[in-house]
Chains A and B, each alone.
Chain A
Amino acid sequence: MTEEAVNLTLSVENLSHRYSAFTGVNSINFEMRRGEVLGLLGPNGAGKSTTMRMLTGNLAPSTGSVLICGVDLLKNPDTAKIHLGYLPEIPPLYQNMSVDEYLRLAATLHRVASHCLESAVIETRHHCGLDGRGRQIIGTLSKGFQQRVGIAQAIVHNPDVIILDEPTSGLDPNQIREVRHLIGALATHSSVIFSTHILSEVENVCDRVLIMHQGDIVFDRKMGDIHQQQIHLDAIFTDLTQKHENPEEQRQ
């Protein structure tokens, strides 16, 4: 039981966010354990990015709480955010910094001690396939490499919870495969949440799938159960996210 508590990295309770015109996320609950990879699926506008922004303190929830490694994100944001790594949909890159400068900045911002700084940067660069690019200016890198720098920025401080918003968008098939490997490797010591539109990606990488639709979690299963019950992710996704659409259209 105690081991369970130690392994609990993220716990989300009754989390909602209401934008002025509509509800973005409607009272969702879920928990994550160390070593788990969670795939967040859903059509555009389902609330995936809103959820991720709330988990990382970029957006204040209307109700509910987020505990990261047992620390309340809303009450102690500074302590909680040390355990977090976040790659937003658009990577937050300073175009005129070199890769090393940028990673050093990201590490210092996340309070990596100065004597571990260099080794953390070198290690992360290696993990993300950025060896030999340390001195290159970020603005001159290709889209794929920029995306890798974005991921590197999220993991340089060895966070317990890693949140990646569409990490594979805009990458070529080889790069997508590399990112998948990377996510698998990260999961050995952290929890990873990532959102995507590619269903096969989820089947390959995730231990657990969560489908969101119109601000609600409509599906939450372990990958093992899905295989066991021979559920087709494709079919269930279409089923769950299209059946609600008609009343929505009528309302509009």
Chain B
Amino acid sequence: MTGIILKKELHMLFVSPLAWILLTIIQVILTWTFLGRLDVFLEIQPQLLQIANPPGFTEIVITPVFALAAIVLLMITPLLSMRLLAEERRNHTLTLLISAPLSLADIVLGKFFSVMVFFGMVIVLLSTLSATLALGGTLDWGVLFSNVLGLLFVAASFSALGLYLSSLTSQPVIAALGTMGILLALWVIDLAAGNTNAWLRDLSLLRHFERFNQGVIDTFSVVYFILFIATFLILTIRHLDAERLHG
């Protein structure tokens, strides 16, 4: 039954111009940066040859482009996630879904996966772009893979949080602002981490993404992302259920 909600959400997303505009903007920004980094690489290539064990274009092109992609996804998540539940509530259409023979988990997961399909498309486009580098040299496929995985994890974390905030209100704008604020705070929280409160660093989404970005798939980070996603999805289901209980 999750599939029905997923299909409906994708239909609603892609009949509106929003999804296409966002896809275009993201693709333009990322391709622009990609070409810029490629230029830099070609410029410094002669100097690189003189170093023993020089960094290849995976480090110089792919790593920074994926780091930027993570920020771009952070920025557009609120735009996609705000309407998921807040708009259904505002238009009174949530009743249709709740009166249907569906569980709340079906509704929440269907909506979550719809955003993930969108992000999946962004990531596929970006990976294809990166893979074209293999035409001109040797690409470190391992680093590319860990970047793709890392980007999927951060995108899923963003969406889960956005979905939860969208379930709290009937004002999409409030959901968007809340999501943006919390995501930015979680992104940069490691700046606040000193010697005494080093645990703050472990809360930072950026910190965990950086590991993947450098080509390290750390179990700790994987667990962090999975817990983060599961927590917010469960909170969303619990919140909708509580609403049903108390009216």
A60 to B244, CA, bound (A): 6
Instruction: Label chain B's interface by main secondary structure.
Output: helix
Other-chain residue from B12, B94, B101, B247 in contact with A82 (beta carbon distance below 8 A): B101
A189 to chain B, nearest CB (A): 20
Asked if A88 CB lies within 8 Å of chain B CBs, one says: yes
By a CB distance below 8 angstroms, the chain A residues around B99 are: 56-58, 81, 84, 86, 88
Contact call B15/A81, Cβ cutoff below 8 A = no
Contact call A108/B4, Cβ cutoff below 8 A = yes
Residue-by-residue, is B8-33 near A (CB-CB < 8 Å gives 1, otherwise 0)?
10011001100000000000000000
Asked if B226 CB lies within 8 Å of chain A CBs, one says: no
Using a Cβ–Cβ cut-off of 8 Å, how many residues does chain A contribute to the interface with B? 36
A220 to B46, CA, bound (A): 93
A25 to chain B, nearest CB (A): 11
Q: Given A59-B244, A93-B93: A105 and B8 within 8 A (CB)?
A: yes
Residue-by-residue, is B80-121 near A (CB-CB < 8 Å gives 1, otherwise 0)?
000000000001111111111111000000000000000000
By a CB distance below 8 angstroms, the chain A residues around B44 are: none
A164 to B235, CA, bound (A): 32
A9 to chain B, nearest CB (A): 16
Residue-by-residue, is A94-114 near B (CB-CB < 8 Å gives 1, otherwise 0)?
111100010001101111000
B8 to chain A: closest residue by CB: A105
By a CB distance below 8 angstroms, the chain B residues around A245 are: none
Asked if A90 CB lies within 8 Å of chain B CBs, one says: yes
Q: Given A92-B92, A95-B91: A58 and B98 within 8 A (CB)?
A: yes
Other-chain residue from B15, B102, B244 in contact with A58 (beta carbon distance below 8 A): B244
Contact call B96/A92, Cβ cutoff below 8 A = yes
Stretch at the interface among A16-24, A177-185, A197-205: A16-24
B241 to chain A: closest residue by CB: A60
B91 to chain A: closest residue by CB: A95
B97 to chain A: closest residue by CB: A109
Asked if A79 CB lies within 8 Å of chain B CBs, one says: yes
Q: Which residues of A contact B (CB under 8 A)?
A: 17, 19-20, 24, 50, 53, 56-60, 77-82, 84, 86, 88, 90-97, 101, 105-106, 108-111, 153
Q: Which residues of B contact A (CB under 8 A)?
A: 4, 8, 11-12, 15-16, 91-103, 244-247
Q: A92-B95, A106-B96 are known; give 18 further A-B pairs, CB within 8 A.
A: A19-B247, A20-B246, A53-B247, A57-B98, A58-B98, A58-B244, A59-B244, A60-B244, A79-B101, A81-B101, A90-B92, A92-B91, A93-B93, A94-B12, A105-B4, A106-B100, A109-B101, A110-B100
